[in-house]
Amino acid sequence: MHNYTLLLVWLTLMLTPKLGYAQHEQIVDSLANSVETEVIELRHWFHQNAELSNREFKTAARIAEELEKIGLTPQTGIAHTGVVAVLIGGKPGPVVALRADIDGLPVNERCNIPWASKMMGTYNGQNVPVMHACGHDTHIAILLGVAKIMTEIRDEIPGTIKFIFQPAEEGSPMGEEGGAELMVKEGVLKNPNVDAIFGLHISSGNPVGKISTRSGAIMASADSFRIDISGSQTHGSTPWTGIDPIITAAQMINSMQTIVSRNMELTKAATVITIGSIHGGVRSNIIPEKLYMLGTLRSLDKDMRELAMKRLGEIVEAIAAANGATATLEFDVSYPITYNDPELFEQMLPTFEKTAGSDNVIIGPAITGAEDFSFFQEQVPGLYFFLGGVAAGTQISESAPHHTPYFFVDDSGMLLGIKTMSNLTLDYMKTSGK
């Protein structure tokens, strides 16, 4: 941070007995501008050193190093590779948690940038390239920027801030626990007990300077499932001498879509059922004995989610029986609905509007993607928002989607994220003071 900027901030604090609304916004604005270059440099480092879920060793070490530099004491090894630091303000008040996810994805980067990832990792037993193809590198850098700002004004903060750097948002490796669910299980929202939690996600679908959020469900629940079907192997020329699991699977897939089209109240909320993988058979002229399918169920309504799960079970059982086969349905990884607490949303909406400008705050539709931030929101009131990452002059239609090799978000989008997370924290403390 430049000495001139520090002097201005120090003078402002000295001349301001209490950190009022206008004052803290001015100070946050000034400090955010002063740390932007450093935050961008951190983003580039994390991008170049992307690591897979539960394997974020270098990432966690760098986060801890940066937290120590600003005078915080990081706790490491939480939920395998998570890092947490607590900042106790100079005045009493509520406890606010701020969360950033830190893992990358098994994606081969094709962006032509000097700081492109060349990292490799092991995923499902295979050696794969690793890339921050969902913007978690920006989330880490933004939260470190917020931590730097908050430590500068620590004495004036009316409450406590818990900085949570969470691994494995993209899902734990097979057979492992991880992510927000494990962090909650290990007590990350306790000691001190968190009153509210805020999280963001940068977006390649919104322009820099825009914020998108909404009250209630903002992202869907996600339930992964596996269906195993057993029949009777026979020659493909005489199907009547066996029981065909492939025909059984085809009938199941078609019938599953009637759950959405005929059982879901779609004017109320969206539900999606997708089969993404089928494995069975070795030759064109042999009807196999077994196969399995992998799928996902997404819903924006808890009751609709439960009904869809029930109907899936009924369809699998009935169609298997009708074909003389046997089948099992098992649900694996499940994320709850990412749900913005309505009272917290109304309380903090003015902060979004003051920070970004009311014309830049979009009350957008919910999406059927999922986020394990939802596990935190099951325990305490939480608020989640999307931060624009598409640079000025770039058409949204030309911006690559998340989880793809050409995914890219611009450095210029992070400044608003730093300011917004900082102002949400301070405004919440002032309007929810204990």
Catalytic residue numbers, as ranges: 103, 169
335 membership: H or E segment, kind and range = strand 326-335
Got the DSSP string for 351-416? HHHHHH-GGGEEEPPPBS---THHHHHTTS-EEEEEEEEEPTT--GGGSPPTTSTT----GGGHHH
3-class secondary structure, 49: coil
Do residues 53 and 81 make contact, with C-beta atoms less than 8 angstroms apart? no
∠ CA 13-427-377 to the nearest 5 degrees? 140
Residue partners of 272: CB distance under 8 A and separation at least 6:
220, 260, 296, 297, 298, 299, 368
d(CA 109, CA 103): 15
3-class secondary structure, 171: coil
Nearest to 39, CA basis, from 140, 167, 133: 140
299 membership: H or E segment, kind and range = strand 290-299
Nearest to 173, CA basis, from 368, 47, 333: 333
Do residues 235 and 241 make contact, with C-beta atoms less than 8 angstroms apart? yes
Q: Which two tokens stand for residue 153?
A: 């004004």
Q: Which two tokens stand for residue 105?
A: 């994805």
Burial group, residue 144, by CB count within 10 angstroms (0-12, 13-18, 19+)? buried
Q: Which residue(s) pair with 203 in the sheet?
A: 388
Residue partners of 282: CB distance under 8 A and separation at least 6:
288
Supply the angle between the helices 136-152 and 21-48 in degrees, to the nearest 10: 140
